[in-house]
């Protein structure tokens, strides 16, 4: 499990995801149910509270209203006792009572009517009946039977006048009431019953009326004694409650019942319907106190309707559930998505790894295949070369030559592909060796001179003086870059020029200044508008894509250089202090340019500007991409400016190391083709109308040490000479006059003046300056003409190269003999010089190898001895010995090269120590023993090299000997340690 790549939590639990979702949904459902229940319960509590408050409110109001009624009846009772009994005669009769009660009935809104019944004993009945003129009747309007007591109504309110003369005692309820009221002396209520007259339910209130004042704490008997009658009032409870409820809000919502619960087992209903349906689940009971302690009343309220379903709660819960469901689903979806994306990612990663592997494999395959093709190609080419050496008919020769050319092209292509593959595989390593940039540029130019001459192109190189003579870098790759760029330019240019310029991009600002300056006053004074087209100050006069190479800035560059030359040595010192130097190289041509649409992909491999390019010009389009890679490997950048039909300028920067002074002298001899120094101090005049070209010529001459002056045309040159001639000899007397072909042609009349000049000078007995014509291409006729015109001495064909110019000058001036053997300084002769007379030991177990090595070394003039094993070598190298160097095979049986070297070094150390001891004692010191030992090995990978150095070897040569390798390895010892003991 540990090997699995970093899965996230989600990825690890992917199987659980649906279960998680289900769990979530369930939990959420539970939660929303709970929420619903909670809200519903809240609602219920609120409903209950509302009900109880409403019920209480109603109960209190009812009670208050009731007690108001009771109080008033009480007041009436007191009124009756006061005015009926205490006054004599009575101040109240039926009329008064009726009027009074009618007028105060608003006070007793709840009472349907009040009446006063006098207590009459049976003994008094007759008197009473006589007095009033009517007989006492029962409730049923019948003459009352005989009883102990009667309570006939004597005063009554008009509303209940029908009860006058009725004996209240005859009604069961009333009688009980009367008795109780008499006993307690308080207001007393009946149980509810249907009232007479109206058929509403009602209760009757009864108050006792006393005929005399009672003692402060009367007994029951005293009360009964004092009682004169009874004041009664009928409460119409039904209408009372109806009125009351009608006044209150929310009347419709609740259902009110009022009960008399004196008898707790049998509740008597006072108001409301016994079996009215309503919300039976919820009811509220409120006790009512109507002032009669004997009777208990109760109000029961309930809602009319059942509790409505709580939509809010339901909606809330439902919405909550839905939201949670959605959230859950979103999370689930996200998790699923994450899982999917991660899966895809892993898949992609795998694919990427495979793609990368495929890419590497491709590069390796390319490298291998290119290599494998190269090997037989070498065979083919070698054999073709051999074939061409044989006697062939012209047709056969033609065929063979064609084959050879094709083979060479193929191998170039293969090399390029190999390079490309190597770079892609990151296997290309750059060397760091000192080399002369100028000579490389000259070489490249000479490579293309033939082609450019055929096309009539100006091909020139200019290297700024600030560029160090020797730089550290990879000359091969640098040459490759230049060759690529120049090759492209040559390929795509039909007219005009190709100009390679190298300088140190140090201060771009003055350049700008110069530019603006020339913008201000540029063009006019030189009269650059020549009939036909715009004449541009470039090498050939054709317009170039990048104006930076035009004379304006170029001039400035040269001027700046001159300044710097003059300035001081400090600058140079400062320059050399830095370890590296950045060079700006530009290759300018006036070719067909690159179409704008194709400019983006110029550096893409196998992309040419368009498909017709390869048809017209050939090539694979790999060159520029390799160039770009190489430039980047060298720590630079490449860019280009191109204008279709005008030309392109490729410029790139590279970083080279500076050469250390010490090693400079060594390597220079080996690497650089040496320019003859015999021209130092010569003077020359260059006649050229084009300043850039003149500058290039001057640069080459300067390299030879020739002092140069530039003249714009022949006349000026002539006059310069003339002045020199006429004035005293302090002025410069030119040894050579180099005339550009164009200048000569444009000023053909000038040839006359030249002639004249010659004459003049002859007349003055001056040495005649040599006349040299510089030409790109020249027809034979023209050449004849030129010879006739005085250029008898020689014609230098462009492109100019310092060495070629030197050769021509040698020829002209006859200075060639001054440097004998200069040109011999390379190749085997150098090795010969190095190894000549040296005694060398070759140690190899392989007889063949031994023989070959010995043969090779002998060829260079060394005296060779051989040893076939490490042990034999040790024996031979017992100190003191006379060997100058030892070549040691690394792989040998018994004792390998490393071991043998270690032992040799040990021996030497011992000897040296001893010797040091001796020298202290005063004997003459000799050099320490240190035999240069070079490893011979078939594989030259670095690990082996490191091991070689570790065990005390001084270097290595790869096994089939190659002269160059051998030279490099050996040169170190025989040069830096000059002739110590020979």
CB of 963 to another protein, least distance (A): 9
590, two tokens: 């006036």
- Report phi then psi at 534, rounded to 5: -75, 130
84 or 959: CB nearest another protein = 959
Q: Is 735 in the site for another protein (CB under 8 A)?
A: no
d(CA 289, CA 611): 117
Peptide bond into 89 cis (omega under 30): yes
Q: Is 348 in the site for another protein (CB under 8 A)?
A: no
Q: Is 391 in the site for another protein (CB under 8 A)?
A: yes
CB of 850 to another protein, least distance (A): 9
d(CA 498, CA 487): 10
Task: Name which position in 272, 540, 959, 967 contacts another protein (CB under 8 A).
Answer: 959
CB of 877 to another protein, least distance (A): 22
3-state secondary structure of 470: strand
Q: Residues touching another protein: how many (CB under 8 A)?
A: 32
d(CA 358, CA 365): 10
Region for 310 from its dihedrals, namely left if φ exceeds 0, alpha if ψ lies in -120 to 50, beta otherwise: beta
Q: Where in 410-439 is the site for another protein (CB under 8 A)?
A: none
CB of 830 to another protein, least distance (A): 16
640 or 961: CB nearest another protein = 961
Element (H, E) at 387: helix 311-389
Buried b (16+ CB within 10 A) or exposed e, 403-437: bbeebeeebebbebbbbbbbbbeeebeeeebbbbb
164 or 844: CB nearest another protein = 844
What is the bridge-based pairing of β-strands 149-150 and 120-121?
antiparallel
Count of C-beta atoms within a 10 Å radius of residue 518: 18
33, two tokens: 């149910």
274 or 395: CB nearest another protein = 395
- Are the beta carbons of 714 and 756 closer than 8 angstroms? no
CB of 859 to another protein, least distance (A): 6
CB of 832 to another protein, least distance (A): 12
Q: Is 595 in the site for another protein (CB under 8 A)?
A: no
Q: Where in 516-545 is the site for another protein (CB under 8 A)?
A: none
- What are the Cα distances from residue 833, in Å, to 250, 862, 971? 133, 10, 10
Q: Is 382 in the site for another protein (CB under 8 A)?
A: yes
CB of 828 to another protein, least distance (A): 10
Task: Name which position in 375, 677, 919, 982 contacts another protein (CB under 8 A).
Answer: 375
Task: Name which position in 378, 719, 916, 980 contacts another protein (CB under 8 A).
Answer: 378
Select from 446-454, 503-511, 587-595, 889-897 the region that touches another protein (CB under 8 A).
Answer: 889-897
d(CA 233, CA 188): 10
494 or 939: CB nearest another protein = 939
Task: Name which position in 68, 268, 380, 511 contacts another protein (CB under 8 A).
Answer: 380
- What are the Cα distances from residue 52, in Å, to 39, 49, 911? 20, 5, 126
User: Cα 131 to chain center, whole Å?
Assistant: 125
Q: Is 383 in the site for another protein (CB under 8 A)?
A: yes
Q: Is 78 in the site for another protein (CB under 8 A)?
A: no
According to DSSP, the residues that pair with 208 across neighbouring strands are 230
CB of 846 to another protein, least distance (A): 4
CB of 883 to another protein, least distance (A): 21
Q: Where in 918-947 is the site for another protein (CB under 8 A)?
A: 938
Spell out the residues 6+ positions from residue 371 whose beta carbon is closer than 8 angstroms to its own.
418
Q: Where in 813-872 is the site for another protein (CB under 8 A)?
A: 844-849, 851-852, 855-856, 858-859
323 or 386: CB nearest another protein = 386
Q: Is 807 in the site for another protein (CB under 8 A)?
A: no
Task: Name which position in 143, 681, 832, 960 contacts another protein (CB under 8 A).
Answer: 960
CB of 848 to another protein, least distance (A): 4
Task: Name which position in 961, 967, 973, 974 contacts another protein (CB under 8 A).
Answer: 961
Q: Is 962 in the site for another protein (CB under 8 A)?
A: yes
CB of 866 to another protein, least distance (A): 12
Nearest CA-CA partner of 960 in 827, 844, 853 = 853
For the chain, the first-to-last Cα distance in angstroms comes to 74
Element (H, E) at 315: helix 311-389
Q: Is 379 in the site for another protein (CB under 8 A)?
A: yes
- Report phi then psi at 972, rounded to 5: -50, -45
Task: Name which position in 281, 386, 529, 836 contacts another protein (CB under 8 A).
Answer: 386
Buried b (16+ CB within 10 A) or exposed e, 343-355: eeeeeeeeeeeee
d(CA 128, CA 134): 9
Torsion of CA 867, 868, 874, 876, to 10 degrees: -30
Q: Is 394 in the site for another protein (CB under 8 A)?
A: no
Select from 92-100, 602-610, 788-796, 888-896 the region that touches another protein (CB under 8 A).
Answer: 888-896
Q: Is 893 in the site for another protein (CB under 8 A)?
A: yes
CB of 864 to another protein, least distance (A): 12
Q: Is 880 in the site for another protein (CB under 8 A)?
A: no
Task: Name which position in 309, 390, 393, 531 contacts another protein (CB under 8 A).
Answer: 390
According to DSSP, the residues that pair with 655 across neighbouring strands are 582
CB of 562 to another protein, least distance (A): 50
User: What is the contact surface with another protein in residues (CB under 8 A)?
Assistant: 375-376, 378-380, 382-383, 386-387, 389-391, 844-849, 851-852, 855-856, 858-859, 889, 891, 893, 938, 959-962
């Amino acid at each position: 499990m540990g090997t699995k790549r970093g899965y996230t939590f989600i990825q690890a639990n992917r199987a659980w995801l649906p279960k998680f979702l289900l769990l979530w949904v369930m939990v959420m459902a539970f939660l929303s149910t709970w929420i619903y229940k909670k809200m519903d319960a809240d609602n219920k509590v609120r409903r209950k509270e509302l009900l109880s408050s409403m019920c209480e409110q109603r109960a209190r109001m009812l009670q208050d209203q009731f007690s108001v009624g009771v109080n008033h009846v009480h007041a009436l009772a007191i009124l009756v006792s006061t005015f009926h009994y205490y006054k004599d005669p009575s101040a109240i009769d039926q009329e008064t009572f009726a009027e009074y009660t009618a007028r105060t009935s608003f006070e007793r809104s709840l009472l349907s009517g009040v009446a006063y019944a006098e207590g009459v004993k049976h003994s008094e009945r007759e008197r009473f009946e006589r007095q009033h003129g009517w007989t006492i009747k029962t409730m049923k309007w019948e003459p009352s039977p005989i009883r102990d007591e009667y309570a006939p109504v004597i005063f009554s309110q008009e509303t209940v006048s029908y009860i006058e003369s009725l004996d209240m005692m005859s009604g069961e309820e009333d009688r009980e009431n009367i008795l109780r009221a008499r006993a307690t002396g308080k207001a007393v209520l009946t149980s509810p019953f249907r009232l007479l007259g109206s058929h509403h339910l009602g209760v009757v209130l009864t108050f006792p009326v006393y005929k005399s004042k009672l003692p402060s704490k009367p007994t029951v008997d005293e009360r009964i004694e004092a009682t004169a009658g009874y004041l009664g009032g009928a409460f119409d409870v039904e209408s009372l409650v109806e009125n009351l409820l009608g006044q209150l809000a929310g009347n419709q919502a609740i259902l009110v019942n009022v009960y008399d619960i004196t008898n707790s087992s049998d509740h008597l209903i006072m108001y409301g319907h016994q079996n009215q349906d309503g919300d039976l689940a919820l009811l509220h009971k409120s006790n009512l106190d109507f002032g009669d302690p004997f009777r208990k009343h109760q109000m029961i309220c309930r809602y009319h309707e059942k509790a409505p379903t709580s939509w809010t709660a339901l909606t809330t819960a439902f919405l909550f559930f839905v939201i949670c469901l959605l959230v859950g689903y979103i999370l689930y979806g996200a998790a699923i998505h994450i899982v999917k994306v991660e899966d895809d990612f892993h898949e992609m990663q795998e694919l990427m790894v495979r793609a990368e592997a495929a890419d590497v494999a491709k590069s390796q395959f390319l490298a291998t295949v290119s290599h494998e093709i190269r090997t037989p190609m070498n065979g083919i080419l070698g054999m073709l070369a051999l074939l061409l050496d044989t006697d062939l008919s012209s047709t056969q020769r033609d065929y063979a030559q064609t084959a050879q050319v094709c083979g060479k092209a193929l191998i170039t292509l293969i090399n390029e592909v190999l390079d490309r593959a190597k770079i892609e595989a990151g296997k290309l390593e750059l060397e760091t060796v000192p080399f002369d940039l100028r000579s490389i540029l000259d070489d490249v130019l000479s490579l293309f001179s033939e082609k450019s001459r055929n096309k009539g192109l100006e091909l020139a190189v200019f290297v700024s003086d600030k560029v160090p003579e020797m730089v550290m870098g990879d000359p091969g790759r640098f040459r490759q870059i230049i060759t690529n760029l120049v090759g492209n330019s040559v390929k795509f240019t039909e007219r005009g020029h190709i100009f390679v310029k190298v300088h140190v991009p140090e201060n771009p600002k003055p350049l700008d200044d110069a530019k603006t300056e020339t913008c201000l006053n540029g063009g006019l004074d030189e009269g650059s508008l020549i009939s036909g087209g715009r004449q541009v100050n470039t090498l050939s006069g054709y317009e170039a894509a990048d104006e930076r190479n035009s004379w304006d800035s170029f001039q400035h560059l040269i001027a700046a250089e001159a300044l710097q030359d003059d300035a001081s040595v400090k600058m140079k010192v400062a320059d050399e202090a830095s370890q590296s130097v950045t060079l700006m190289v530009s290759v300018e041509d006036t070719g067909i340019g690159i179409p704008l649409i194709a400019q983006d992909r110029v550096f893409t491999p196998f992309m040419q500007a368009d498909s017709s390019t390869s048809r017209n010009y050939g090539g694979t389009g790999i060159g520029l991409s390799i160039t770009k890679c190489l430039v980047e490997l060298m720590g630079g950048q490449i860019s280009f400016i191109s204008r279709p039909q005008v030309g392109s300028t490729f410029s790139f920067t590279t970083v080279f190391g500076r050469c250390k002074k010490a090693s400079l002298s060594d390597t220079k001899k080996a690497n650089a083709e040496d320019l003859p120094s015999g021209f130092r101090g010569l003077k020359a005049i260059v006649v050229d109308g084009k300043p850039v070209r003149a500058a290039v010529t001057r640069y080459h001459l300067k390299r030879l040490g020739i002092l140069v002056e530039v003249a714009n045309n022949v006349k000026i040159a002539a006059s310069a000479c003339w002045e020199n001639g006429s004035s005293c000899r302090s002025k410069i007397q030119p040894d050579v006059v180099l005339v550009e072909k164009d200048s000569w042609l444009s000023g053909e009349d000038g040839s006359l003046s030249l002639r004249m000049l010659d004459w003049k000078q002859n007349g003055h007995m001056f040495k005649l300056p040599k006349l040299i014509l510089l030409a790109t291409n020249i027809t034979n006729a023209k050449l004849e003409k030129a010879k006739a015109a005085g250029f008898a001495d020689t014609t230098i064909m462009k492109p100019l190269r310092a060495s070629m110019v030197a050769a021509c000058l040698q020829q002209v001036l006859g200075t060639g003999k001054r440097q004998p053997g200069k040109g011999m300084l390379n190749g085997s002769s150098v090795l010969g010089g190095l190894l000549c007379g040296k005694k060398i030991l070759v140690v190899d177990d392989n007889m063949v190898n031994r023989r070959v090595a010995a043969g090779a070394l002998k060829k260079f003039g060394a005296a060779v001895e051989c040893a076939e094993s490490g042990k034999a070598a040790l024996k031979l190298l017992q100190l003191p010995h006379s060997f100058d160097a030892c070549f040691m095979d690394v792989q040998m049986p018994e004792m390998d090269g490393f071991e043998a070297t270690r032992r040799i070094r040990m021996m030497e150390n011992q000897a040296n120590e001893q010797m040091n001891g001796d020298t202290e004692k005063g004997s003459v010191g000799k050099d320490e023993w240190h035999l240069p030992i070079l490893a011979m090995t078939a594989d030259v990978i670095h690990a082996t090299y490191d091991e070689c150095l570790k065990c005390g070897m001084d270097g290595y040569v790869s096994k089939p000997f190659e002269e160059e390798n051998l030279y490099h390895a050996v040169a170190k010892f025989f040069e830096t340690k000059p002739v110590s003991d020979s």
